[in-house]
Amino acid sequence: MVTIALDNVDVALGRRTVVSSASARFQPGTLTGIVGPNGAGKSTLARAMLALVPATGSVRIDGIEVAAIARADLARRIAYLPQGQTLHWPLTVARLVRLGRLPHLAPMSRISDADAAAIERAMERADVLSLRDRIATELSGGERARVLFARALAVEAPALIADEPLASLDPGHQIDVMDLLRAEADSGKTVLAVLHDLTMAARYCDRLLIVDGGRIVADGSPAEVLTPDLLRTVYGIDARVESSGDWPTVTLFGRTR
C-alpha cells in the first residue's frame, strides 16, 4: 500500500505561483476528491505528487522523497490518468491498454500471462472489451476516456491519481468510473481524483480537498467542507447543500459575482 505526504509544497510555473504551501497526507483505503474552480491549481498539485512539475517543499511516497524514486518504480507504485490526453499513434485499443503494463516489463521482454490477464481485467472493468480492435484515434471522446482509464487500471498499482476522469463521459459511464474509483479505494488502494461535479464527489469520496488560488482552503469529509458559505467564497455561486441519505447534494442557483 502507498502513503503520499505533502509538506509545504509550492509550485511556480514561469513567474506565477500555481500551488502554495500545500500540506496533506493521503492514506490507503481512501478516495480523496480534489475540487475547486478552473485554474485553482488542482491538476498541478496532482502532478507535483508525481514529480512531473518542479516543486519546493516535500513530497514523500512511503516516506521517501519522490525525486529520489526511480521513474519506473514510481510508475509501478502510482498509476496516473492525466486529463485531456491526446492520442497521436493509430494503435488498437488492446495495444493502447497494454501500455499500462510497461512499468512491469524489462526492456525487450514479452507480455506474460499475468500481464495479459491484467490487461483483460482492466478492459472489462472500464467497459471497453467491445472496442479492443478499434483504432484508438478514431474513437469518440467518451470512448477514448474509458480506454485511457483502462490503461491506468492495467498498471494495477497500489495507488491511483486520476485527473478529471469524468470528462467527456455520459452520466452512466460517469457512475461506472466513480464506482471503479470507489472499488479501488475499498480494496485498500490510495486513490485521488480531480473532480468538478460536487454532488458526485460528495457521494463517492471519503474526503475532499478544496483548492482555490493554489491553496488548500478546506480539507475534510464532504459534509464538513461543502457548505453554502464556502461555495460562495470559492466558486462565487449561490448554492443549497442538503443531506440526501449518506451524502450531501449540491443544488446551484446562480452566480454571486
What tens digit of pLDDT does each residue of 163-190 get? 999 988 999 999 999 999 999 999 999 9
Q: Across residues 238-251, what is the average pLDDT?
A: 85
CA-based torsion, 98, 110, 120, 80: positive or negative: negative
* Structural domain containing residue 212: 4-255
Q: How far apart are CA 191 and CA 182, in angstroms?
A: 8
Alpha-carbon distance of 26 to 148, in angstroms, equals: 24
* pLDDT band at residue 245 under the 50/70/90 scheme: confident
Residue where the block lists cell 510508475: 75
Sheet of 78-81: strands edge to edge?
A: 78-81, 159-163, 190-194, 30-35, 207-212, 215-220
The DSSP bridge partners found for residue 4 are: 26, 61
pTM: 0.94
Q: Lowest mean pLDDT of 93-97, 106-110, 130-134, 214-218, name the range.
A: 106-110
DSSP 135: B
> 230: Cβ–Cβ under 8 A, 6 or more apart, which residues?
210, 217, 218
- Name the percent of the chain lying above pLDDT 90: 83
What H or E segment, with its residue span, contains residue 175? helix 171-186
d(CA 244, CA 253): 18
Cα(241)–Cα(203) distance, integer angstroms: 13
| Mean pLDDT for the stretch of residues 91-110 | 90
Q: How confident is the model at residue 244 (pLDDT cuts 50, 70, 90)?
A: low
Which helix (H) or strand (E) segment is 125 a member of? helix 113-125
**What is the number of domains present in the chain?**
1
Q: Burial of 253 by CB count in 10 Å (0-12 exposed, 13-18 middle, 19+ buried)?
A: exposed
Task: Provide the CATH number for the domain around residue 216.
Answer: 3.40.50.300
Do residues 46 and 163 touch, judged by C-beta distance below 8 A? yes
| pLDDT value for 84 | 77
Pairing of strands 237-244, 78-81: unpaired
User: How many whole angstroms separate alpha carbon 252 and alpha carbon 231?
Assistant: 10
Least Cα distance to 217 among 228, 203, 196, 231 occurs for 231
